[in-house]
């Protein structure tokens, strides 16, 4: 059953050969017309031989700057200025959850909606750096309201923002009643904030891999994968069952010491960081410069489905044999795996 679901999806996600392509080229990697980045490298620490100094440079210039630092900065502002005090959560009420939900909605309308407006409505850089030349789907029955953007906004704001609010309120209540271990030193909170990126690397790989197994795939994750050509609002456009898993990252701090800020950071990061990675654009042009935008690694997951389950930060896909770096060689390996799965089914 799982193999059939995967094959069905792959047929949907693959593209028709372009005009002029001959039968002999059918096994070549079929690319939609659009921006085609160079194949990706693993982070330097995981190459052989490992290059620790190059890894530090990669972490600062490629990983932290600009997006990861921006997620931390936004979380500090959200926590300090727009999150009710902890004492309020000792006696948890629906009103407190509602406030967090409202805060999440406004945050996502600004950050995700801003990217959608700049890239897909104003079309400020046209199709420059866009992985696919076509735009988001309209008049398509597979989407709620027959519209990909409205459908994606609905799942993101109602289910995503709502479940994130409930999880944050539960954790705040546990901190307010001193029921779970809490870090007090600013240095420890800073170090743990940085560690969240790695913890999430493992957490995301594990829950995403699970979601690709039937019946979880059919029940939940297929909804996210209707988006083959993605936009900023596709990032956390997920079934509520997938939101329950995907947003559960803060619960690791039931057992390891964390802090209320770290919980807010986890959820803000989970809510808004997938928007550039699903934006459809590899780089964003802004005030005469261009910045790291989309995530080619995850874009290939949406295109070919059974590759790149994790994030580039940790080489879990490399270790488990599902890494696709965008090269023809990796594509042939993926096709071999698909053939052997089909033979077993
Ligand atoms: Zn997936
Ligand atoms: Zn995705």
List pLDDT tens digits, range 310-345: 998 888 999 999 999 988 888 888 888 888 877 776
Q: Dmax of the chain from CA atoms?
A: 68
pLDDT per residue as tens digits for the range 296-309 = 999 999 999 889 99
Identify the nearest ligand to the CA of 306 by its number: 1
Q: What is the pLDDT of residue 80?
A: 97
**Which residues, at least 6 apart from 293, have a Cβ–Cβ distance to it below 8 Å?**
129, 276, 279, 281, 282, 283, 284
Identify the nearest ligand to the CA of 297 by its number: 2
Residue 181 alpha carbon to ligand 1 centre in Å:
33
Residue 342 alpha carbon to ligand 1 centre in Å:
19
Residue 223 alpha carbon to ligand 1 centre in Å:
10
Contact 292, 283 (CB under 8 A): yes
Q: What is the pLDDT of residue 159?
A: 98
Q: What is the pLDDT of residue 112?
A: 98
pLDDT: which is higher, 288 or 195: 195
pLDDT band at 170 (very low <50, low <70, confident <90, very high): very high
Identify the nearest ligand to the CA of 274 by its number: 2
Query: What are the structural domain ranges in the chain?
Result: 83-305
pTM metric for this prediction: 0.89
Identify the nearest ligand to the CA of 305 by its number: 1
* % of the chain exceeding 90 in pLDDT: 69
159 burial (CB, 10 Å; 0-12 / 13-18 / 19+) is buried
Q: Is 70 exceeded by the pLDDT of residue 25?
A: no
**Which residues, at least 6 apart from 38, have a Cβ–Cβ distance to it below 8 Å?**
326
**Which residues, at least 6 apart from 334, have a Cβ–Cβ distance to it below 8 Å?**
304, 306, 307, 324
pLDDT: which is higher, 148 or 18: 148
Residue 198 alpha carbon to ligand 2 centre in Å:
18
Q: What is the pLDDT of residue 29?
A: 63
Q: Is 50 exceeded by the pLDDT of residue 92?
A: yes
Report the range out of 7-16, 83-92, 148-157 with the highest average pLDDT.
Answer: 148-157
Q: What is the pLDDT of residue 46?
A: 83
Average pLDDT over residues 105-116: 98
């Amino acid at each position: 059953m799982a193999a059939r679901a995967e094959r069905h999806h792959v047929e949907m996600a693959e593209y028709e050969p372009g005009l002029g392509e001959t039968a002999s080229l059918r096994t070549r990697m079929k690319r939609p017309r659009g921006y085609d980045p160079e194949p990706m490298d693993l982070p330097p620490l995981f190459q052989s031989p490992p290059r620790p100094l190059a890894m530090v440079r990669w972490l600062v210039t490629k990983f932290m700057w600009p997006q990861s630092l921006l997620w931390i900065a936004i979380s500090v502002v959200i926590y300090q200025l727009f999150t009710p005090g902890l004492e309020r959560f000792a006696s948890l009420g629906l009103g407190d959850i509602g406030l967090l939900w409202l805060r999440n909605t406004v945050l996502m309308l600004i950050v995700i909606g801003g990217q959608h407006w700049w890239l897909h409505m104003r079309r400020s850089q046209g199709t420059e750096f866009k992985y696919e030349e076509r735009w988001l789907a309209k008049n398509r029955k597979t989407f709620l309201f027959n519209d990909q953007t409205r459908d994606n906004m609905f799942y993101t704001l109602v289910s995503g923002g709502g479940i994130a609010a409930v999880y944050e309120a539960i954790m705040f209540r546990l901190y307010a009643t001193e029921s779970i271990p809490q870090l007090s030193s600013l240095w420890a909170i800073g170090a743990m904030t940085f560690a969240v990126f790695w913890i999430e690397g493992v957490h995301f790989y594990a829950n995403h891999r699970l979601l690709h197994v039937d019946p979880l795939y059919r029940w939940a994750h297929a909804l996210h994968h209707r988006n083959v050509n993605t936009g900023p609002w596709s990032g956390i456009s997920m079934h509520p069952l997938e939101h329950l898993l995907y947003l559960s990252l803060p619960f690791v701090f039931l057992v390891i010491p964390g802090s209320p800020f770290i919980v807010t950071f986890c959820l803000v990061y989970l809510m808004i960081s997938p928007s550039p990675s699903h934006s459809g654009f590899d780089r964003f042009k802004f005030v005469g410069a261009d910045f790291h935008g989309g995530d080619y690694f995850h874009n290939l997951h949406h295109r070919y489905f059974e590759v790149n389950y994790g994030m580039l930060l940790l080489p879990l896909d490399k270790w488990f044999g599902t890494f696709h770096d965008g090269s023809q060689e990796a594509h042939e390996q993926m096709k071999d795996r698909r053939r052997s799965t089909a033979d077993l089914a």
